[in-house]
């Protein structure tokens, strides 16, 4: 790549967007931003410093949040006030509470600002990780609200069955009927909650859809890389 590139990847829970996005960033030598982790970090901070039932209190806490996002796709750490919270943000307690924080429109506005700041930074000479080569940013709102001007925008989706199976393997280490049922509410409820404030089931105009229902991990990564290559080719012809 001869110029900075921004790749935005959205999709429902369990679609594989985090693992695929990290792999794509690593292959292309780009920074990686997990915006979902930012909402989870905001939830941890709000649980510690605010009243989760008070929207204004939560918004004020997030605006003051001392958050540092690691941008290395091989080790994308998350720090709050100097503490590594990469494990904490994935706990069941945080997963249960994150939608309450993520549905707060003032919180979304603040995190959008921070996300846009990081994306712009990694596409400039002031880049922290990529050397100005660019970034892969994934999560809710990325393709339509945070980075609608991204060079490449992808909606990564999969059937409900495939998404539940993948998340079950991730959380429980198994994909039998019992494990899938234990995961079902978490995955589907999170999507239902997030759908109230963002659209991620249908690709917006200009957003390429990659359906990974029948693809393995490497095939999915290759499919996204093909979209990036196609966009670069189209850009060079313009």
CA distance 221 to 156: 10
Quick one: how far is CA 237 from the chain centroid? 30
Residue-level pLDDT at 63: 98
Instruction: List 32's β-bridge partners, or say none.
Output: 136
**pLDDT of amino acid 235:** 67
Q: Which of 177, 166, 174 is nearest to 220 (CA)?
A: 166
pLDDT of residue 204: 67
Burial degree of 172 (CB within 10 A; 0-12, 13-18, 19+): middle
The whole-angstrom separation of Cα 191 and Cα 199 is: 10
Strands (E), the chain: 5-10, 31-34, 67-69, 78-80, 83-84, 134-138, 152-157, 208-211
Q: What pLDDT was estimated at residue 174?
A: 60
Instruction: Give pLDDT < 70 ranges for the chain.
Output: 1-2, 169-204, 235-238
Range 81-88 contact pairs with CB under 8 angstroms and sequence separation of 24 or more: 85/41, 85/44, 86/37, 88/44
β-bridge mates for residue 163, sequence order: none
The count of other CB atoms within 10 Å of the CB of residue 90 is: 14
pLDDT for the residue numbered 190 = 62
Q: What is the pLDDT of residue 23?
A: 98
Q: Which two tokens stand for residue 28?
A: 């292309």
Task: With beta carbons less than 8 A apart as the criterion, state whether 134 and 122 touch.
Answer: yes
């Amino acid at each position: 790549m001869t110029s900075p590139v921004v790749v935005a990847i959205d999709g429902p829970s369990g679609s594989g967007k985090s693992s695929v996005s990290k792999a794509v960033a690593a292959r292309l030598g780009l920074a990686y931003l997990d915006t979902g982790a930012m909402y989870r970090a905001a939830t941890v901070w709000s649980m510690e410093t605010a009243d989760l039932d008070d929207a204004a209190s939560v918004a004020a806490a997030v605006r003051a949040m001392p958050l540092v996002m690691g941008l290395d796709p091989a080790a994308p750490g998350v720090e709050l006030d100097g503490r590594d919270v990469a494990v904490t943000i994935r706990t069941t307690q945080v997963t249960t509470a994150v939608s309450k924080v993520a549905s707060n429109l003032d919180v979304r506005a603040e995190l959008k600002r921070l996300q846009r700041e990081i994306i712009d930074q990694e596409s400039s000479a002031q880049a922290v990780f990529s050397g100005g080569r660019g970034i892969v940013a994934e999560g809710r709102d990325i393709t339509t609200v945070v980075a609608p001007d991204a060079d490449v925008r992808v909606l990564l989706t999969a059937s409900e069955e495939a998404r539940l199976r993948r998340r079950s393997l991730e959380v429980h280490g198994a994909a039998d009927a019992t494990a899938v049922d234990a995961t079902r509410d978490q995955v589907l409820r999170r999507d239902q909650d997030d759908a109230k404030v963002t659209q991620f089931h249908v690709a917006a105009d200009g957003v390429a859809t990659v359906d990974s229902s029948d693809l393995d991990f490497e095939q999915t990564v290759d499919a996204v890389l093909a979209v990036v290559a196609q966009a670069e080719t189209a850009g060079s012809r313009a």
